[in-house]
A and B are shown apart, each in its own frame.
Chain A
Amino acid sequence: MPDDIAEVYRNTYPALVRFLYRKVWDAERAEDLAQEAFARALVHRPDNPRGWLFVVAANMARDEARRAARERRHLTLLKSEPDAVHSAPEDEMDADTQRTRVRAALEQLTPRDREALLLWDSGLSYDEIAAQTGLARGAIGTTLARARRRLIEAYDVREGDQHVARG
């Protein structure tokens, strides 16, 4: 059993960190939570470790978000985030701006649409997403279509706003 989890760990850890990051918006915290989720999996030994991990991670992220909201530090997290790309300052600023904008766009989705989209982007199958969100499998395609469209719309609207503001 631990071998199964070791396998899942190798395949899923980065995706789980990414999934968590997009919820807690703090890379180190996301790593901590992902590791905690795996540690719990070793104790609980779920039948379907991968699905289980994302359920647990989503719960931990929700608790985390509540706590963060309480501590009113949510908005400052992005500032301290190290940048993955080493590039010229202007590019960095652009990457930063883009990240902020995508994040804002993501947060305009309904929780359910956002969850489905983030799970899909983490590599979960429609079946797994259905199991986790409680949606019918047949509804996943529609949910993802809507989530993608709204994400892009929300992103573009903000971009338009910025151009207007600059011009």
Chain B
Amino acid sequence: MSHVAEGVLHAYLDGELPAGERSALEVHVAQCEACRARVNEERALVERASTLLGAVRPLERPAPPFEDIRRAPTRSPWRVRTSFAWAASIVLALGFGYYLAGAGAYRLAPETATPTNVATQNRPADNAVAPAARDEAQPKTRARQEVAERRPPGGEREEAATGRLGATSADSISAKAAAPPSATVAAVPAPMRDSVVVAEQDVRGTTAAAPAPTTRMQRQDALSVREAPANTWPRIDRQTAKTILGNDPVGLPDVAPVTIRRSPDQSGVVVVEQKLDDRTVIQIFQQPNAATGAAGGRGSVYSEGARADRLARFVGNLRVEIGGPVSVDSLNRLLDLVRPLP
């Protein structure tokens, strides 16, 4: 046997040489003075490198309890950013303004409107929307004030942003939206967290696609933003959804509560809403691919978007978009998990 190659020697010293090679090497080394010396040399090298690496190690602190990590899937990867609180308010304000301004546009409430939580009692075709809007205005304003008042000291920038919101001028919105996201909820004092929840729940209740104040959502087609109020998106059952989509609706497997709604117009968009926890509702918009194509110009925008924008993708024959009060990164991962609902 020839002398032992360096790499083999290191594999041997690392205990990674397969048994057969190891015994062959040991036989050789036992007879070969030079290789014995090299084994010792290389062993010293391995140990020295290991010692050097030992000099660059973090202060070792005990691992946090695994339970903390286990809870994390509802928090850590799907982090709710504090910036969301006021970003959501912005969307709220926008949506609300839009709602009032364009109330007429939404009045084409679906003739088959399945009763939903709000829009129920004998709704006269023409003035049902406006009172509902006013009713909702109160809690929304309150929520916003709470966000502002309960802001802990130190969050001046956010406070300012929220305060300015009263004015709701379009130009200040872009500035606010551009402010960098700050720490995650985990790092935020409890009262702040509560106000985030208030804002989110509000968003969820009133504007269907509001909770994703990212550029992506701004770019996202009108289908979600324009037709915002959830109570104009009638709730439908699985079978109806399947009929509209021509396929089983898709969603996140293993996330039990599923609410399905359809868009009030004839665009054939269905949204599946799933609660990850009591403060996080993920919305999965879906539409048959053919329908997007049939929509002419919008179809091409769609398919382009699907390529450029990872937050939309095709699942089977459906074009699927995802939105929710979590980071874009998390939305991406969630989107990967979307499957036809069982």
Contacts and interface: CB of A to CB of B under 8 A. Distances in A.
B73 A82 contact: no
Contacts of A83: 59
B49 A151 contact: yes
Interface string A127-167: 00000000000111111110111011001000000000000
B263 to A, nearest CB: 30
Interface string B49-77: 11011011111110110101110110011
Nearest to A18: B57
B76 A117 contact: no
Contacts of B60: 14, 17-18, 84
Contacts of A95: 55
A126 interface: yes
B49 A42 contact: no
Interface string A1-18: 010001001100110011
Interface residues of A, number: 52
Interface string B134-152: 0000000000000000000
A10 B67 CA distance: 12
The interface size bin for chain B is 35 or more
Contact of B14 (A17, A22, A120): A120
The DSSP consensus for interface residues of chain B is helix
A145 B9 contact: yes
Interface string A68-112: 000000000000011110000000000100110011011000000
A99 to B, nearest CB: 5
In this complex, which of B10, B56, B57, B68 has the most chain A Cβ atoms within 10 angstroms of its Cβ? B56
Interface in B4-26: 5-12, 14, 16-17
Nearest to B46: A148
A117 B7 contact: no
B45 interface: yes
A84 B59 contact: yes
A144 B14 contact: yes
Contact of B16 (A21, A99, A141): A141
B42 interface: yes
Nearest to A28: B58
A82 to B, nearest CB: 5
Contact of B45 (A13, A36, A106, A149): A149
B333 interface: yes
Interface of B: 5-12, 14, 16-17, 42, 45-46, 48-50, 52-53, 55-61, 63-64, 66, 68-70, 72-73, 76-77, 333
